[in-house]
Chain A
Amino acid sequence: MTHPVVPIKTYAAVFGALLALTITTVAVSKLELGEFNFVAAMTIAVIKGTLVVMFFMDVRRATSLTKLIVGAGLFWMAILFVFVLSDYASRGWLPGPRWF
């Protein structure tokens, strides 16, 4: 609550970066990169999200408890994704050699 006021310059710079990244992601999506289209789009989205979280939501300067909460949120999302997808990814696997 008592953090020093952030200069407008910082906010403007973040805003500019976000706009630039938006343009980049649209531009990149027009290129033929195969699987990298996906990687590029997601990387850019993650960078943009991080900028918003860190600067606009000020997690950069937040208490470690807030950081912990943000981390926990992401971690639990990851649990959901990893375990659901691991089922789908391994459905086609064969039992392999009878290892028992």
Chain B
Amino acid sequence: MGVFSIFPPRASTTAVQVDALYTFLLIVAGIMTALIFFCVFFFAVRYRRKNQDDPAPKAIHGSLPLEIAWSVFPFLIMLVMFAWGAKLYFQNYTPPLHDTFDIYVTGKQWMWKVQYPTGQREINEMHVPTGRPVKLILASEDVIHSFYIPAFRLKHDVVPGSYQTYWFEATEPGRYHILCAEYCGTNHSDMGGWVTVMKPNDFERWLAGDTGGSMREQGEKLFQQYGCVTCHVTDREGRCPSLLNVFGNPVVLDDGRTVVADEAYVRESILNPNAKVVKGYKHDIMPVFQGQISEEGLLQLIVYVKSLSPPAPRSGKSAAPAPKANPK
């Protein structure tokens, strides 16, 4: 990255798109700035007072057509900015429903802990393949952080108490900065690391390396340890919903709403089970686990719950739209 390039390296599909939008904005802003600077300079020179006693010029009180023109035209241009920006924003913050490679990131003063479904764990390092959508599930153990990868033009605050996600598809192998972008205390500026983008083959090799038990296995252990298994898998009395084939599918709640069982839903159901109760089940059966399971443990449990729902048959991009969760 040269100092004199205004763009940082582009290493994802979004980077290209964001840069295109940015270029558009630069051009508009450049033209507008040039126009105004030119007018100010030109008028200042052209109409300078040549003689102290010049009579005051004739007043010009305004012009309605002009006022309308310079309110409406800028606004039309701004609408383009808005729509283009919103489109990309929705795209970046809504991961594809299927076939993503999921990485679980936990922020903590002042480090990033990264876990892979296959069990690898890293601190301040992340490995991702090119050419495949990667979805990040972000959690925080203490304060708000922000997981920022300039080369992908993406960041999201990592808010304690909830999960945030975004996704990207890396394009250029290399090593790029991970930075913490939300002020989080003393060592905020040191809370960074590197993301290594690898060719798919290299990545597979890396992924096959040594692990200390996959996230799924660890999640399964926790599942047994906390006694979840007695209700949610083996139970036949119908006290709790079975968790087989739940993840990623719509769930009907007792208040009639439909939600999709995603990571945030599973997390909430563990920590605060009464918040969303599945239709036909009673409140207050399941214990409240708030404050009892670590953020990393939660993520492992979620991977285990996910594994109880084998991936749907590949349906590609034309997958039926997810059911609307909230009719209003």
Are A and B in direct contact (Cβ within 8 Å)?
A: yes
> Which chain B residues (80-132) contact chain A, with CB distance < 8 Å?
87, 90-91, 94
A42 to chain B, nearest CB (A): 20
Stretch at the interface among B22-30, B222-230, B318-326: B318-326
Contact of B322 among A89, A90, A94 (CB under 8 A): A94
- Contact present for B260 and A95 (CB under 8 Å): no
21 A/B residue pairs, CB under 8 Å, sorted by A: A89-B328, A90-B326, A92-B259, A92-B325, A92-B326, A93-B324, A93-B325, A93-B326, A94-B260, A94-B322, A94-B324, A95-B90, A95-B94, A96-B321, A96-B322, A97-B321, A97-B322, A98-B94, A100-B87, A100-B90, A100-B91
Complex formed: what's the CA distance from A91 to B190 in Å?
Answer: 32
CB nearest neighbor in B for A95: B94
Binding site for B on A (CB under 8 A): 89-90, 92-98, 100
Contact of B321 among A89, A93, A98, A100 (CB under 8 A): A98
B200 to chain A, nearest CB (A): 26
- Contact present for A96 and B324 (CB under 8 Å): yes
A99 to chain B, nearest CB (A): 9
B18 to chain A, nearest CB (A): 15
Q: Is the interface of B mostly helix, strand, loop or mixed?
A: loop
Binding site for A on B (CB under 8 A): 87, 90-91, 94, 259-260, 321-326, 328
**Chain B residues with CB below 8 A from A94, complex form:** 260, 322-325
CB nearest neighbor in A for B262: A94
Complex formed: what's the CA distance from A89 to B325 in Å?
Answer: 12
CB nearest neighbor in B for A90: B326
CB nearest neighbor in A for B257: A92
Complex formed: what's the CA distance from A83 to B168 in Å?
Answer: 30
**Chain B residues with CB below 8 A from A100, complex form:** 87, 90-91
Complex formed: what's the CA distance from A93 to B326 in Å?
Answer: 6
Complex formed: what's the CA distance from A90 to B91 in Å?
Answer: 17
Complex formed: what's the CA distance from A95 to B167 in Å?
Answer: 14
CB nearest neighbor in A for B328: A89
A72 to chain B, nearest CB (A): 25
Extra A-B contacts (4), CB below 8 Å, given A90-B326, A93-B324, A98-B94: A93-B326, A97-B321, A97-B322, A100-B91
**Chain A residues with CB below 8 A from B91, complex form:** 100
Task: Please indicate which of the listed interface residues B91, B321, B323 has the most CB atoms of chain A within 10 Å of its own CB.
Answer: B321
CB nearest neighbor in A for B83: A100
**Chain B residues with CB below 8 A from A97, complex form:** 321-322
A50 to chain B, nearest CB (A): 29
CB nearest neighbor in A for B95: A95
Complex formed: what's the CA distance from A93 to B264 in Å?
Answer: 13
**Chain A residues with CB below 8 A from B87, complex form:** 100
A34 to chain B, nearest CB (A): 12
**Chain B residues with CB below 8 A from A96, complex form:** 321-322, 324
Across the A-B interface, the 10 shortest Cβ-Cβ residue pairs: A97-B321, A95-B94, A100-B87, A94-B325, A94-B322, A93-B326, A92-B325, A95-B90, A96-B324, A92-B326
CB nearest neighbor in A for B88: A100
CB nearest neighbor in A for B250: A94
Complex formed: what's the CA distance from A6 to B260 in Å?
Answer: 61
**Chain A residues with CB below 8 A from B323, complex form:** 94
A93 to chain B, nearest CB (A): 5
Complex formed: what's the CA distance from A92 to B325 in Å?
Answer: 7
**Chain B residues with CB below 8 A from A95, complex form:** 90, 94
CB nearest neighbor in B for A98: B321
Task: Please indicate which of the listed interface residues B260, B323, B324, B326 has the most CB atoms of chain A within 10 Å of its own CB.
Answer: B326
